[in-house]
A and B are shown apart, each in its own frame.
Chain A
Amino acid sequence: MAQAEWAIEVDHVSKAFRVHTEKNPTLKEKVIYARRAKHREFVALRDVSMTIGKGTTVGLLGVNGSGKSTLLKLISRILYPDTGSIHVRGKVSSLLELGAGFHPDFTGTENIFLNGSLMGLSKKEIQYKLDEIIDFSELGDFIREPIRSYSSGMYMRLAFSVAVAVDPEILLIDEILAVGDAAFQAKCMDRLRKLQSQNRTIVIVTHDTGAVERFCDRAVWLHNSRMVLDGDPSDCVQRYLQEAFQNASEGANVMSFDRVDESSTDLSHVAAGDAVAATSAQEDAAGERVGGHEVVLTTVAAHSEMGTDIVRAGMPLQVVLQATCRVDKANVVFGVHIETEDGVLLYGTDTRIDLTGPRSFVAGEQWQVSLQFEQLALAPGHYALSARVFTEAGEPLDIWPQCAHLTVVSEPREVGYMHMAHTWTFEPKGVKV
């Protein structure tokens, strides 16, 4: 899309937040600490510039705390930049947080009027669209109930229905679609596609990288308050995932308050918040590492041409185990399991099944055992690897569940767990008269 006609122009924008050490400063403190900074500055955005053309759909990527939501709030004028400027052409409708602009004591219908009026619609305009909004939300009888009784999914249905009904020229969406059920999410996506086809501008923040690849014309990756990459969605997603997971596995996981003093896009020191959250959740869920540890695993990693812990579907993957033998041990078997994020075993193999490798090891020896997949038959998604060392008799030596994570990416986004090589054929078979 030519950028001749822009919808949103962000020009060298920086934004810092004051973080008060104490909430609700009292008069006494105001007087005592007058003129002395009693707060620290937290830079949420640093020198970000972008021009979003009319009719473009842009996905904002980044780990938690990278500045995505701040950028959306700046565009929707809830916040103002410290330096730089933002220009917006056209009516903006934003879906930033659940329940914004709703009154819990009012019924769904009353809230449609309230929320619509917050978006600058007159009562008449809302009346005109009321049925359409209620139909779209599928809230049925609940529309006449006070929304304090709504679930978060129902809130979202109402909020989304109003937001798209106001026929915005620019729609800003921050994550909230995730709380809807699958059917409603699909419906939302349909509606968003319709808006796309009407040349509306959409800016969306989501952690569903698949959605960014499928749905966006362009992706912007924010990291550590700066814009790292701006361009093709697939490239952005892949680089983003690669960095985020790499940081997580390196344990660079603390959300640094003092990114103020950090000068850069230096990715090695940064919070990979999302990835870390996912990792720790998985560790909680996973079983404990067990075994007699006569043979002990030191590292487990998956490598591909894309890097560590990430691979393109259908491409080679090498799982490398490093092991140390503490005592002489015979009949040792090495194995690898590939599991889904919620622990369903998809595939497992070991050296006994495959009748390969040496069986006996001597104390002090160190071994690197590699398992090579020529074409990884996994669909895009996130997976976990478990490494297992045990004896032929089944005695566990080192069973290490979910010791590595694997992200599979791919251009066409197939569904399911498997990546199956396939071809489609169409043959004309004549015409039925």
Chain B
Amino acid sequence: MLFARPKEIIEYRSMLWGLILSELRTRYRGSVLGFLWTFVNPLLTLLVYTLVFSTVMRIHLTHYAVFLFIGLLGWNMFSGATLSATSVIVRQAPMVKKIYFPREILPLSVVGGALMNYLFSLVILIPFLLLSGYEPNVYWLYLPLIILIETILTSGFALLFASVNVYMRDLEHVLQIFMMLWMYLTPVVYTLSMVPQRFLPIFMLNPVTDVISSYQDIFYYEHSLDWKGFLYGTVVSVVILLIGWSVFHRLSRRFAEEV
């Protein structure tokens, strides 16, 4: 059972890939900038956050924009994919009702799309780092590992929320608000050291913290991973994936009737 599902998904990999591509292709269809939005969007977001947090909130951190950009890209992949995946079964109702395919493909394709998007955004992040005076270092080699853990974590939440949302549609609305709070419980716009001691445990329990910190470790602080934290993040991610997948599997039997 444990291996039957992944095996079937591998059989349907061309469908997964097709959905990822169609997601990427249709996202900016009809807009003037088209695919360029993949790059323009994070830059504009960065601009807004930098303005607010360095001029209004007065966060003094050297190369604050770099710090922020690293965290934002990682966070956007997680939150964008999780939010979009939550409603994906309902959104794709016609397909769910009319054809058979392993239902996991739908949330996983959303995560795949977000992953592709993250990879594209590296095309701006790297020059951005270099222009800010950073130089490539050996710790960048950990990047694939961090991306892998983030993908596992995001897939877990995506599967969990996507299946629950079919039966309780409020989830997607609740989650939109909660995501905002979640971002501020993750060291994206400020460092962990800025967080008051009594709130720190919440940050430390949050598995996304470990992923985002790891990006910052290799890109911003230019040192190795905090292995203890990273191991915690990995274990939690895998556990969430297993929970998410088993809940999804159980709930997916009635998807075609409920959507």
Contact = CB atoms under 8 A, between A and B. Distances in A.
B255 to A, nearest CB: 9
Contacts of B174: 27
6 contacts: A17-B257, A26-B169, A78-B98, A80-B253, A105-B29, A120-B15
Interface in A378-407: none
B168 A78 contact: no
A314 to B, nearest CB: 43
Given A78-B97, A118-B99, A103 B168 contact: no
Given A105-B26, A120-B15, A27 B95 contact: no
A129 B174 CA distance: 46
A289 interface: no
B99 A101 contact: yes
Interface string A8-37: 000000000110000011110010000000
Contact of B22 (A26, A97, A114): A114
A27 B170 contact: yes
B98 A100 contact: yes
Interface string B73-114: 000000000000000000000111111110000000000000
Interface in A62-109: 73, 76-80, 92, 94, 96-97, 99-101, 103, 105-106
B22 A78 contact: no
A148 interface: no
B55 interface: no
B26 A25 contact: no
Contacts of B22: 103, 106, 114
B15 A78 contact: no
Contacts, number: 70
A114 B95 CA distance: 12
Contacts of A99: 94, 98
Band of interface residues on B: 20 to 34
Contact of B18 (A17, A97, A113): A113
A395 B15 CA distance: 71
Interface of chain A: mostly helix, strand, loop or mixed: loop
A9 to B, nearest CB: 17
B170 A78 contact: no
A349 interface: no
Contacts of B96: 78
B257 A18 contact: yes
Given A94-B99, A120-B15, A121-B14, A30 B94 contact: no
A122 B13 CA distance: 8
Nearest to B95: A101
B226 interface: no
A101 B100 contact: no
A128 B22 CA distance: 21
Interface in A118-166: 118, 120-123
B99 A100 contact: yes
Most buried by B among A17, A27, A78: A78
A117 interface: yes
A79 B98 CA distance: 10
Interface residues of A, number: 31
Interface of chain B: mostly helix, strand, loop or mixed: helix
A101 B96 CA distance: 9
B169 A25 contact: yes
B11 interface: yes
A24 B170 CA distance: 9
A114 B174 CA distance: 33
Contact of A117 (B15, B168, B170, B256): B15
B98 to A, nearest CB: 3
Contacts of A17: 257
A122 B100 CA distance: 16
A419 to B, nearest CB: 41
B104 to A, nearest CB: 14
Listed from nearest, the 4 A-B pairs whose CB atoms lie closest are A100-B98, A27-B170, A117-B14, A117-B15
A337 to B, nearest CB: 44
Contact of A96 (B12, B98, B169): B98
Nearest to B15: A117
A99 B95 CA distance: 9
A162 to B, nearest CB: 11
A97 B98 contact: yes
B168 A27 contact: yes
A100 B95 contact: yes
B99 A96 contact: yes
Contact of A123 (B14, B98, B257): B14
B243 to A, nearest CB: 21
Interface string B162-205: 00000011100010000000000000000000000000000000
B7 to A, nearest CB: 13
Given A100-B99, A120-B15, A79 B94 contact: no
Given A77-B100, A99-B94, A120-B15, 14 more contacts: A17-B257, A18-B258, A27-B168, A27-B170, A80-B254, A100-B94, A106-B22, A113-B18, A114-B18, A117-B17, A118-B99, A118-B101, A120-B14, A122-B14
Nearest to A124: B14
B11 to A, nearest CB: 6
Contacts of B98: 78, 96-97, 99-101
Contacts of A18: 257-258
Contact of A76 (B12, B100, B168, B258): B100
Given A25-B169, A30-B168, A92 B100 contact: yes
B89 to A, nearest CB: 13
A174 to B, nearest CB: 10
Given A26-B170, A105-B26, A79 B256 contact: yes
Contact of A78 (B17, B18, B29, B256): B256
B16 to A, nearest CB: 8
A117 B101 CA distance: 10
A51 to B, nearest CB: 21
A18 B259 CA distance: 12
Contacts of B95: 100-101, 118
